[in-house]
Structure 1
Amino acid sequence: MVGESRVLRTAGHGGKGRAVTEQEGRAPLRVEALGDVPGAVGWRVEVVETSPSTNADLAARARDGAASGTVLVAEHQTAGRGRIDRTFHTPPRSALTFSVLLRPSAPAQQWPWLPLVTGLAARSALARQHPAVDVSLKWPNDVLVAPAAHPDEPGKVAGILAERIETPAGPAAVIGIGINTATTREELPVPTAASLRTAGVPAAAIDRTVLLREVLTDLSALLVRWERGDLADLRTSYAAACATVGRRVRVELPQGDALVGDAVDVDGAGCLVVEAGGRRHTVGAGDVIHVRPA
């Protein structure tokens, strides 16, 4: 997974309408600034104008032999994929949508940590770039933001989808992330969603190019720790950043049942620990709803 070469390719990238999109916080990605992202992972970044799903496209490339560290970014994702086969659509350049390809050497039992590690990278990058915004994580694959003046009203600014792909060269991981940047309230798909704009970030302060570089830089450093097996350290970092821990939650389980209780921890396998009915339950998958205090 670790390498040195960094290659940039582009497709269908024009500058028409740049003045308007910059004013709206929707400037095209600056391709020339993405060719040398620092970090141990040798990221190779490709920007395309349109993709139905960067995860699906990158999974196909993985099966065809694409290298670890390949990053596919779409200026406009027309049929993005989320968990449980959900799809979503965002206006062009109103979000940062990309997927990364990894061919890890870490054992399979560590792979459930990949969406959590990616969430940590997105959170740290967003918090560093926009310190006036309260940024937290929602287990297992969401990033939340709220204006600093209203930290009790967070919304989902980003979602993460990690997939294991079987390829002729062995298993690979494709991790997709979509971060709502300049999306307006009217453009968001559901009332619980948010964007940097709705969290109070001025359009002029939104820079998707810088944000992408920051996320990839942080993700590179976290992946080194993950490959080394430093899960206790990652667990501490994640629990501290996770708004789910310490909250009353309702977990919609894959089999259709619901578990209501107090989220008390994230365990060494990356599972959520929920205390309910006098017992501790380990949840490896499910939709989590933060229950507001009565």
Structure 2
Amino acid sequence: MTDLLAHVESIWQAVVPQLPDFTVEVVPSIDSTNSELMRRARQGRHEPVLLVAEDQTAGRGRVGKGWHSRPGQSLTFSLALPLSPADWSGLSLAVGVSLAESIDPQVRLKWPNDLWWQQRKLGGILVETASNGTPDAPRMLVVGVGLNVNRPDAVALASGSAPAGTLAPMPPAGVAELIMGITVGELFERVAAPLVRDLQLFEARGFEAFQDRFAVRDALQGLSVVLSDGTQGVASGVSRQGALQVQTASGYREVTSAEVSVRPC
């Protein structure tokens, strides 16, 4: 945990001019940083806070999936921020853009919320919101991020086989394969403050400010894909609202993150 603590002051100094009541908390172990910040939000605590844990015992991914972490081997943190954008569409994609740009030019984004390198998963994003009980007040946004620093043990992380007609998942990747020798704390400092700034940009301008930036890193662009309902097509970028556009035999179809899981054929 010493490595993480060594970078907290720099992160706080970079963010606090824009968010005067901003804090950074480091804990050795927790069930889930997202769960903890959502609990606080529901209890009426609405201060901006960045919570990072060396170990998560019950980390959560999208659609109920677990997120595996190992002390010193992965970066797991959540950011709670009161936010009131005109349109929430495309938020997880904007978070992915921010993280990918902070890490390395080679990092790609697999719609809707995975970071990829060489077609291997490097990290994931979980976005949740909670009302503060006041109708016109900003909602509390909680963004959870899990990034592999060292390459995980693919055997230990394997859970089930790939669906019929799809490829078996590639072994996960680690940021240290891209940036030799990087530590968890160094990666934390690298991504945290830019993420806060990009979320403030999203609040002001929505996904429009990120659409072109996402397109540069779109890992699915031009690939044949199969949707969770069995529909096949070719991924053709994302809409202004962040929906995946797929050219199918019956025409273009826009897919939202709540509807499908997308895997390369």
Give how far 1:160 is off: 0.4
Identical aligned pairs, as a percentage?
A: 31
Alignment map for 1:30-109 (pairs within 5 Å): 30=6, 31-38=8-15, 40-41=18-19, 43-107=22-86
Distance 1:167 1:143, change over 3 A: same
Q: Which residue of the partner structure matches residue 244 of structure 1?
A: 220
* DSSP-derived class of the 2:231 partner: strand
The 3 A distance-change label for structure 1 pair 227 and 250 is same
Shift of 1:173: 1.6
Moved over 4 A (4+): none
The one-letter amino acid paired with 2:262 is V
Contact 2:245 2:255 in 1 (8 A): yes
Query: Residue 289 in 1 paired to residue 254 in 2?
Result: no
SS of the residue 1:66 aligns to: coil
Q: 2: distance between equivalents of 1:79 and 1:241?
A: 30
Read off the aligned partner of 1:116 and give its amino acid letter: L
How many Å separate the matches in 1 of 2:34 and 2:188? 16
Matched length: 246
- Per-residue deviation at 1:29? 4.3
CA RMSD of aligned residues (A): 2.2
1:196 and 2:168 aligned: no
Q: Which residue, out of 184, 209, 232, partners 2:208?
A: 232
Match runs of 1:110-125 below 5 Å: 110-125=87-102
- TM-score normalized by the length of structure 2: 0.84
1:271 aligns with 2:243: yes
- Distance, in Å, in 2 between the alignment partners of 1:119 and 1:155 is 15
Quote the Cα distance in structure 2 between the aligned partners of 1:242 and 1:179.
18
Closer/same/farther in 2, CA of residues 187 and 103 from structure 1, 3 Å limit: farther
Consecutive unaligned residues of structure 1, counting only runs of 5 or more, are 1-12, 16-26, 147-153
CA distance in 2, matches of 1:84, 1:274: 21
* Larger RCO of the pair (alpha carbons < 8 Å, separation 6+): 2
Measure how far apart 1:91 and its partner are.
Answer: 1.7
Q: How does 1:125-164 map to 2 (within 5 A)?
A: 125-127=102-104, 134-146=106-118, 154-164=119-129
Aligned partners of 1:101 and 1:173 also within 8 Å: yes
1:51–1:112 distance in 2 versus 1, CA, 3 Å: farther
Q: Secondary structure at the match of 1:123?
A: helix
Residue 198 of structure 2 corresponds to residue 222 of structure 1:
yes
Q: Separation in 2 of the partners of 1:276 and 1:156?
A: 26
Listed as ranges, the gaps of 5+ residues in structure 2 are: 159-168
| Gap change, CA 1:188 and 1:33, over 3 Å in 2 | farther
- Give the drift of 1:229: 2.0
Question: How far did 1:33 drift?
Answer: 3.9
After superposition, the Cα gap between the structure-2 partners of 1:229 and 1:207, relative to the gap in structure 1 and judged at 3 Å, is same
Contact residue 33 and residue 77 of structure 2 kept, 8 A: yes
